Structure 1
Amino acid sequence: MRVVTTPSGAVAVALLVLVIGLAILAPIIWGDAASEVNDSAPVQGPSSAHWAGTDALGRDIFYRVLVATRLSIELAVMASLLGVVVGTVVGTAPSVLPRWAGRWVSSAVNIAVAFPSLLLVLFFAVVFGVGTTGAVLAIGLAFAPGFARLTQTLSAAVVGRDFVAAARVAGVGRLRILVRHVLPNIGEPLVVNATINAGQALLAFAGLSFLGIGVQAPSYDWGRLLGEGLTQIYVNPAAALAPAVAVVIAGLAFNLLGETAAAVIGVRTGPTRSGPLPATPGRDEPIDASGDQPVLAVENLHVAFPRDGRWATPVRGISFAVRPGEFVGVVGESGSGKSVTALAVSRLIEHPGVVTADRLDFAGVPMLSTPERELRPLLGTSLAMVFQDPTTSFNPTRRVGRQLAEVAEQHQDLRRGPALARAVDRLRAVRIAAAERRAGQYPHEFSGGMRQRAMIGMGLMGTPKLVIADEPTTALDVTVQGQILRLLSEVRAETDAAILLISHDITVVAQTCSRILVMYAGRIVEDLPAADLTRTPRHPYTKALLAVVPDLATDREQPLVAIAGRPPAPEQIPAGCAFAARCPLADERCRTDDPALVQVAQLHRVACWHADDQHDQGTMG
C-alpha cells in the first residue's frame, strides 16, 4: 500500500496499530488492575507504582486509560459507520429516486450541512437522551449530512459520464447503475473521508462524555476519565493529561491516515508487472554531436505506462536534438507520442509512468540522474511550457499578474513588488495592451488569444533556453493563430531560445519551423529540414500527411483525401514497421523488421525500408 511508503503514512499506520493493539489487549492484561479499589491511596500523584497517579477510589489512572481504549475506539467506529451508512444512502438517493424526490432529498442535505456539526451533535444528544446509545446516534447522524453531500457530489460527477448513459440506453435499472457503475467509481474518496470521520467521532465522543452526556458509570471512556481528572487537576495534573494524550494520539492516527490516503489517492502502482520494458525497435542513429552544443539532447527515449498487466509505450526509443535558436516542429496524428515526448523531456511524467533514455540532457544537465531539487531552479527559469488550453493552466481564482509574478518570486528571489513589475513588463513583451491593468484581472477576463500570450509571458519570466509549445493554437481562430506563431518567432529572434512546436497541422509547421520531426506510433519516422518537406519527403507517412491537406487546386467535386486505417494503440504496437498496415509500399520485411532512423541525406533522417523508392503511393485513402 502506497500510503505506508510516505513518512506521515508510516507514522499514522504505526499509531493506528498501537491503538488497535491496546483496544484488544489492554482489557485482558490490565482490566483487573484498572478496577482494583485502594482506599489507602486515593488521589495520589504520579509514582513508580502509579505512573499517572490514582483517582478518588485509589484506582490506577494509567491502567484505566489503557483499558478505556477499547470502549473509546468501539464507540467512535460505531458512530462513524452509522454516519457513513446513512450518508451514503441519503447521498445516492437522488440517483435512484424520481427527479422530484431527489430534489427534496438534496435540499434537506443542503439545509443540514448548513448547521455546524457540534450543534447537531448536541441537538441529537438531547433528542436521544443521555448515555452510550444516544451518543452513538447523535454523533453518527450529525456526521451523516457532510458525508451525504460528498457522496452526492461524487455521484453526480459519475452519473454524467458516457458509460452510465450507455448503461441507461441498454435498459439497466437505476439501482443496478448505482451499485455497478457509480459506487465502485467513488469508493476510494468515501473510504478516505470515513477514516477522517472516525477520528472526528472519537473527539466528539470524548467531548460528550466529558460533559456528562456520553458514557455513564460504571463504564468509562477517555472523555469520562478526562472529566474526572479535571476535578483534581491542581493536585494531580497527570490525571487529566493521560486521557487527553490518549485522545490526541488516537485522533491523530485516524486523521493522519485519512489525510495521507487522500494525498496519494489515484496514484497506484498499477497491475503486477511481469518482465522488462518492451524491446527497443530498430535503434536510431545517434544524434549529430557536431556544431553548437544542443540545448536539448535525447537519445533512445522510452516512455511506458502499465496497463492491464502489460506495457503501453506511447514513446518508443526516439533520438533527436534541439540547438540554440532552432525552431523545430513535431507533427503526427493524435496518439503518435508528440505530447508525451514533451512531458517526458520536461520531467512531467508522473508515477506509474516510466521514463528511460540513454541520454536526456537539457542545457548540459542530465535530466534523469539529477535530483529534482537541483533541477527545479533550472527548469523554472530555462524551460517554458505553453499548453494547448491556457484556461486550464491558469488558476481561475488568482489574478494573472500575481500568477506570473509567482515565478519570479520562487526562482529569482524577487520581492512582491518587483516581481509584479516584471510580470507587467513580460505582458507588454507579448503584446498585451494595457498590461498593467490586465495584470490585475482574472483569467476569465482574457480572450483565448490573450490567455495564450499570457502563458508565453509566464515562460518569459525567466530566461528560457527552450520553449515547448504543445498545440498552442488549436483552440484559436486563424487570425489569432498567426499572431501567436509570429510571437513565438519574435521570442526566438530576441532571446535565441530554441522552440519545440507540437502541432497536427503540417502546413503550419512547414511555414513556421526550420526543421520538422514526423512522429508515428511513438517513433520519429522522418527528420528533415522544413524546406525539403514539400520537395523531397522520403517516408510514406510524411507524404500521406501532405496529401490529405487540401489547397486551392483541390477538386471540390471529389471526396477529401484520407489516410486509410488508424494508428495502433500504444499497447498494441505490431511487429515490424508500425505504419506497414496502412502503407501501400509495405512488403514482408516491413511487417517483421522495424527500420531504424538513419541518415539518407544531409540533415535528413528517415526510418523506412523504402526511403529510396520513388513510386507514386497514390492517395492512400
Structure 2
Amino acid sequence: MRRWKGVLRTPLGLAATALTIGVLVLAVVAPILWTDEANAVDTSDILAGPSADHWAGTDNLGRDIFYRTLVATRLSVELALSATIIAVVAGLVLGTAAFLLGRRSGRLVSAGINIAVAFPGILLALFFAVIFGVGATGAVFAIGLAGAPGFGRLVQTLVAGIGSRDFVAAARVAGVGRVRILFRHVLPNISEPLVVNATISAGSALLAFAGLSFLGLGVQQPRYDWGRLLMDGISSIYVNPAAALAPGTAVLVAGLAFNLFGESVAKALGVGVVGGIPALPRVPAAPEAEEVAAEVHHQHDDVVLDVRDLEVTFPGPRGPIRPVRGITFAVRRGEAVGIVGESGSGKSLTALAVSRLVGDPGRVDASRLELLGTDLRASDSRAQRRLLGTSLSMVFQDPMTSFNPTLRMGGQLAEVARHHQGMDKKAALERAVDRLRSVRITEPQHRAHQYPHEFSGGMRQRAMIGMGLMGSPALIVADEPTTALDVTVQQQVLDLLAAIREAEDVALVLISHDVTVVGEVCDRVLVMYAGKIVEDLPAGDLATEARHPYTRALVAAVPDMDTDLDEPLAVIPGRPVDPADVPLGCAYAARCPLATDRCRAEQPPLETDAAGRRVACWHAGEPIDVEIRDREDVYEEVEAS
C-alpha cells in the first residue's frame, strides 16, 4: 500500500493510473450505457459530419461513430489482454526452458526463439492469422504467439542473470528442485521488468489488433472493435475525417495508458509480487536416505569427503579446457582443510564440483567423489538432494548476492527445514530464529522478518552460515567467505566458523587467497596451481616447512607486522597459467627460479613423504631466493595489466 501511495504522488504515476483506470472503467460501462445508441440505424442521416447530435459523425448506416467507439472499448481491451496473456504464458515457457531442461535441451528452444525474433512481429502475426483463420479468435492467438518470442527472449536473459547468483546456487546445494527454485527464487526477482514488458505488450497488442482488423483479418461484422471502425472510417475519410480520427485516437490513448501504467505498476509492485507466487508442494524425501547415510558413514569411519582424480572440463574453441586437472584429497570429521592459490588455480571450481554446482556445458569426472560415503557422481535423486541439503553447507564469497533480495531472511533459512525436514511454516521459522541466534546475530526474532539489504555485510555472512546449520551439516565449504568484509568482521566470521567446527565436530573446507588466514584457521593446507594440487602439508608447517617453490613464494609475498616498509616487496614473477594453454611439464616452471629442462618436459608426480606430506616438484625443498622488486615497478605492472 505504501508503494502504491508513493507512485500516486508522482505526476506520471498519477496520470498513468487515472488514464488506465479510465480506459478499463469505460470498457465495463460503455456497452451497458450506450449499446442502443451505438447500434441505432438512421438512414436519413448517413455519412454525416460532426455535429451537436453526433460528435464524430455517422457511418454508412447512420450509426453514431462516437458511441460505437466508446462501446468498442470493451472488445478491443478484452482481445488485447487475451493476446497479452497468451504472449506472457508462452514467453515464460520458452524463456525458462533452458533453466528447467538444462543448457543442452534448452539450446533448441533458444535457437527457435532467436529465429522467431529475427522476423518483424507484424509478419509473425500475419503468418499465424493465416493459420488460425480470419476472425477475433484467430487474431488473439496470432498476436499472442507473435509476441511470445520477444517476451521469451527477455525472460531467458533475465533468468540467466538471476540463475548465476549465489542464492540460487545455495538453493541448489540445499537440494531444492529446479521448478521450486524457478518459482521461489528466480521469477520473483525478475517480476518488475516482466510486469513492465507485459503491460507495454498490452498497448502493442491494441495496435496490432487495430492493424489486423483494419486489414480485414481481425474482428468481423457484425462485431466491431477500434480497428474495424478505423477500416470503415478510412473509406469515408475525405467526407468525414472524424470517422477515422475517433477510433484512431482511442487506440492511441489506450496504448499510451498501458505503456505509462507499466512503469508505474512496476514501482508499485516491487518485491511485493513475491507474496502472490504460490509455493510448490514439498516433495517428501526418500525414507531410506538417513539410514543409507548412517550406514555408509559407519563403513567409512570418519571420512566426510573423499575426492579421487577430480577433473572439471569445459568446451573451448581449440578443444576441451580443464581448469581442474585430477586432484585427490579427503576431509575427515572435525578437520579443517584450506585450499589456497592465485586466481584461476581451480579452487572455487573444486568447491563447485564437490557441491554439484557445475552446470552445462561443464563436465565433472572423478574416480571417486563421495560425501559421507554417498557417490555424488550418480544421477540426481531425492536421496542425494536431501543429503546435500542437510549434510553440506556452502558459504559463498559475496554476502550481498548470497541471499534472495525479495525474500525475508527467516523465510529463506526456513526453506531448508520445510523442504528437507518436513517442518511446518511455524516450526521452520522458529528453527531459523534459533540458527540466527546460534551465529551470534542480535535480536534474531526481529531480524528474521527483515530483508537482506537491512543486514550488514558481516551479518549477511553469518546468516549464510546459519542457513547451512538449518540441517545437521557434516561439511562446510567456505569459498572466500571474508573477501568482501573488513578486517574486524573477517575475524568474527573466522572465529564463528572455528567455534561451529569445534562445537558440532563439523569438517571445514576453507578456500582463500590469504595463506595467513588459512594457516591460522586450518589443520591442513592444499596449495593449488593450474588446476592441480602442488603441495599438501600441515598448516603449522606452512610458514617454515613448505617445500614447493610456489608455496614458499605465496608465503613470502604476504607482508606481516615485521615487514620492513622501506624494503621492496617480495613478488611472484610472471602470470598464472591460462587453463586453455597449459604447457608440458610443470605448469609453474616458467615462473620458478629452480626450473630446469626436466621441469619443462616432465610433469612431477604428487609424491607422499614419510611424514605424510605431499609435494609435486622435481626440486622440492631446495634453497630458493625470493625475487625482490621495487613497489613502483609492481604498481606500474598492475596498472598496465
Superposed counterparts of 1:5-154, under 5 Å = 76=142, 80=146, 121=205, 130-132=213-215
Contact 1:547 1:619 in 2 (8 A): no
1:400 is matched with which residue?
409
Percentage of pairs with the same residue: 52
Question: What are the residue-to-residue correspondences of 1:400-549 with 2, within 5 Å?
Answer: 400-549=409-558
Q: Deviations over 1:339-377 (max 9, x none)?
A: 000000000000000100011111100110253333100
In 1, Cα distance between the equivalents of 2:377 and 2:357? Answer: 12
The question of 1:602 aligning with 2:606 is answered: no
How far did residue 79 of structure 1 move? 10
Name the amino acid aligned to 1:558.
E
Q: Could you report, residue by residue, the CA deviation over 1:167-187 in whole angstroms, capped at 9, with x for unpaired residues?
A: xxxxxxxxxxxxxxxxxxxxx
Q: Determine the structure 1 residue equivalent to 2:82.
A: none
Instruction: Give the partner amino acid of 1:587.
Output: T
Rounded Cα–Cα distance in structure 2 between residues aligned with 1:385 and 1:303: 19
Partner of 1:564, secondary structure, is: coil
Q: What secondary structure is seen at the aligned counterpart in 1 of 2:313?
A: strand
- Letter of the 2:482 partner, please give it: T
Q: Sort the Cα spacing of 1:308 and 1:208 in 2 relative to 1 into closer, same or farther, 3 A.
A: farther
Contact 1:583 1:620 in 2 (8 A): no
- Are 2:571 and 1:562 equivalent residues in the alignment? yes
For the structure 1 residues 369 and 121, does the alpha-carbon distance in structure 2 shift closer, same or farther, using more than 3 Å as the test?
A: closer
1:331-350 paired onto structure 2 within 5 Å: 331-350=340-359
Letter in 2 for 1:420: L
Structure 1 residue 551: deviation in Å?
A: 2.1
Q: State the alpha-carbon separation in 2 of the partners of residues 602 and 291 from structure 1.
A: 23
Q: How does 1:59-458 map to 2 (within 5 A)?
A: 76=142, 80=146, 121=205, 130-132=213-215, 205=218, 211=223, 292-458=301-467
Q: Secondary structure at the match of 2:569?
A: coil
How far did 1:534 drift? 1.7
1:531, 1:347 → 2: CA distance? Answer: 31
The alignment's TM-score, normalised by the length of structure 2, stands at: 0.57
Contact 1:564 1:620 in 2 (8 A): no
Report if aligned partners of 1:292, 1:324 keep a CA contact under 8 Å in 2.
Answer: no
Gaps of 5+ in 1: 17-63, 89-108, 136-204, 217-289
Aligned-partner residue type, residue 409 of structure 1: R
Q: Is the 8 A contact 1:336 1:521 kept in 2?
A: yes
Which contiguous aligned blocks of 4+ residues in structure 1 show a shift greater than 4 angstroms? 1-10, 64-69, 71-75, 77-84, 112-126, 207-210, 212-216
Which whole-Å CA distance do the structure 2 matches of 1:208 and 1:503 have between them?
A: 69
The one-letter code of the counterpart of 1:299 is R
**How far 1:379 sits from its partner (Å)?**
0.2
Q: Which amino acid aligns with 1:132?
A: L
The answer (yes or no) to whether the contact 1:598–1:606 under 8 Å persists in 2 is yes
User: Alpha carbons of 1:209 and 1:430: their partners in 2 closer, same or farther (altered >3 Å)?
Assistant: farther
In 2: Cα distance, 1:433 partner to 1:74 partner: 56
Q: How far did 1:73 drift?
A: 9.1
- 2-structure distance, mates of 1:330, 1:443: 29
* Letter paired with 2:421: Q
Q: Does 1:617 align with 2:625?
A: yes
1:617 counterpart letter in structure 2: D
From the superposition, tell whether residues 82 and 426 of structure 1 become closer, same or farther in structure 2 (CA, over 3 Å).
Answer: closer
Residues 412/9 of structure 1: CA separation in 2 closer, same or farther (3 Å cut)? farther
Distance 1:315 1:77, change over 3 A: same
Per-residue Cα deviation, 1:494-522 (whole angstroms, up to 9, x for no partner): 11110000000001111111100011110
Q: Tell me: CA distance 1:417–1:213, structure 2 relative to 1, closer, same or farther (3 Å).
A: closer
Deviations along 1:422-479, one digit per CA (max 9) or x if unpaired, are 0000000001111101111110110100000000000000000000000001111111
Deviations 1:152-177 (A, max 9, x none): xxxxxxxxxxxxxxxxxxxxxxxxxx
What root-mean-square deviation, in Å, do the aligned CA atoms of Structure 1 and Structure 2 show? Answer: 3.9
> Alpha-carbon deviation of 1:539?
0.3
Q: Distance in 2 between matches of 1:434 and 1:414?
A: 23
Report the 3-state secondary structure (helix = DSSP H, G, I; strand = E; otherwise coil) of the residue aligned with 2:508. strand
| SS of 2:546 mapped into structure 1 | coil
Q: Does 1:581 align with 2:593?
A: no
Query: Contact conserved, 2:132 with 2:139, CA < 8 A, in 1?
Result: no
CA distance in 1, matches of 2:618, 2:104: 48
| Contact preservation (8 Å) 2:594, 2:624 | no
Aligned to 2:56: none
Closer, same or farther: CA 373–551 of 1 in aligned 2, 3 Å: same
> How far, CA to CA, are the matches of 1:208 and 1:593 in structure 2?
81
Task: Name the residue aligned to 1:171.
Answer: none
Distance 2:144 2:470 in 1: 55
C-alpha distance in structure 2 between counterparts of 1:460 and 1:209, whole Å: 67
Please give the alpha-carbon distance, in whole angstroms, between the structure 2 residues aligned to 1:113 and 1:412: 39
Contact kept, 8 Å, 1:526 with 1:539, in 2: the verdict is yes
- The whole-number CA distance in structure 2 between the counterparts of 1:587 and 1:8 is 47
Change (3 A) 1:585 1:120: closer
- Residue 589 of structure 1 aligns to which amino acid in structure 2? R
- Counterparts of 1:513 and 1:320 in 2: how far apart (Å)? 15
CA-CA distance at 1:83 after TM superposition: 11
Gaps of 5+ in 2: 1-96, 116-129, 155-192, 229-298, 630-641
Q: Which one-letter code corresponds to 1:618 in the other structure?
A: V
Aligned-partner residue type, residue 317 of structure 2: D
Deviation sequence 1:9-53 (CA, Å, 0-9, x none): 89x99xx9xxxxxxxxxxxxxxxxxxxxxxxxxxxxxxxxxxxxx
Distance in 1 (CA, whole Å) between partners of 2:327 and 2:628 is 26
Question: Per-residue displacement from partner, 1:400-424 (whole Å, max 9, x unpaired)?
Answer: 0110011100010000000000000
Quote the offset at 1:535 in angstroms. Answer: 2.2
Once the two structures are overlaid, the 10-residue window that deviates more, 424-433 or 115-124, is: 115-124
Query: What CA deviation, in whole Å up to 9, does each residue of 1:86-112 have, x standing for no partner?
Result: x99xxxxxxxxxxxxxxxxxxxx99x9
Q: Distance in 2 between the 1:377 and 1:488 partners?
A: 23
Give the AA of the match of 1:616.
I
| Distance of 1:385 and 1:506 partners within structure 2 | 21
Helix, strand or coil for the counterpart of 1:413?
Answer: coil
TM-score, length-scaled by structure 1: 0.58
> How many angstroms apart in 2 are the aligned matches of 1:576 and 1:361?
30
Distance 1:316 1:610 in 2: 21
Secondary structure of the structure 2 residue equivalent to 1:409: helix
**What amino acid does structure 2 have at the position aligned with 1:336?**
S
Q: How many angstroms apart in 1 are the aligned matches of 2:620 and 2:104? A: 51
Say how many residue pairs are matched.
401
Give yes or no for contact 1:312–1:571 (8 Å, CA) kept in 2.
yes
Q: Output the CA distance in 2 between the equivalents of 1:427 and 1:366.
A: 32
